[in-house]
Amino acid sequence: MTPHPLEHRPTRSGSRAAHKGQQTRASILDAALNLASQKGLEGLSIGLLAETTGMSKSGVFAHFGSREELQISVIREYHARFEEEVFYPSLREPRGLPRLEAMYQRWLKRVSVEIDSGCIYISGAVEFDDRAGPVRDALADMVRTWHTGLVRSITMAREEGHLRADTDARQMLFELHGLALVLHHDARFLRTPGAVQRAEQGFMNVLDRYRAAPSG
């Protein structure tokens, strides 16, 4: 007997349940991201998250089967939000220096906003720098993805003639990344006044050293 086509279609109640499950998972992730920003990835636990969200441990566990899976999901969610806020909007700018400047300025703005809450990329690197495993691998992969985007943007700026032909994209990335790290350290740890402005000036100084000489 051939089954009726409608028998294979998801029921409305099933669709609603799946949608509700996705919403619940998103809410848990949002709470986990806030906790990780404050307490670090190591501060995350199924129990703490259950307490924060008002859910049972088994309810949280149903969405994230382990603490490690929860930590990795938080890293991926943080990276997705980082891309939406920093990377993708910058792609609307013209190729070359305008795009690179947009990417870096948005990055500095993100770091400056996270001075009070903490940056998972930076705090996670401290927590997992010497601890091999899937969480460290996921964190490193996300940072490398961002670095790849910056290197590509630097390379485009060189190809467009905005930066010197001998510009070493990896070296320039190293210097720009260093500025972001120092900003986070001085503003969050030392509470140094004017750290954001110094980071912005540092970026302009780096650009001036790599900028191509005017033609003619």
**pLDDT at res. 178:** 94
Query: Helices (H) and strands (E) in the chain — how many of each?
Result: 10, 0
Contact 154, 212 (CB under 8 A): no
The pLDDT of residue 125 is 79
Q: Which two tokens stand for residue 115?
A: 């001075």
Global pTM reads 0.82
What is the CB neighbour count within 10 angstroms for residue 82?
20
Instruction: Name the nearest CA neighbour of 177 among 155, 144, 208, 210.
Output: 144
Report pLDDT for 2: 52
Distances from the Cα of 132 to the Cαs of 43, 89, 119, 137, 146, in angstroms?
Answer: 18, 34, 21, 7, 21
| Mean pLDDT per 10-residue segment, the chain (216 residues) | 51 60 84 88 87 88 87 92 95 96 93 79 79 91 94 97 97 96 88 93 96 81
- Amino acid 89: pLDDT: 96
Answer CATH for 72-210 from 3.40.640.10, 1.20.1630.10, 1.10.150.120, 1.10.357.10: 1.10.357.10
Q: What is the predicted pLDDT for the residue at 132?
A: 86
Domain ranges of the chain: 72-210
Q: Is 215 exposed, middle or buried (0-12, 13-18, 19+ CB in 10 A)?
A: exposed
Query: What was the pLDDT predicted at 39?
Result: 85
pLDDT of residue 6: 46
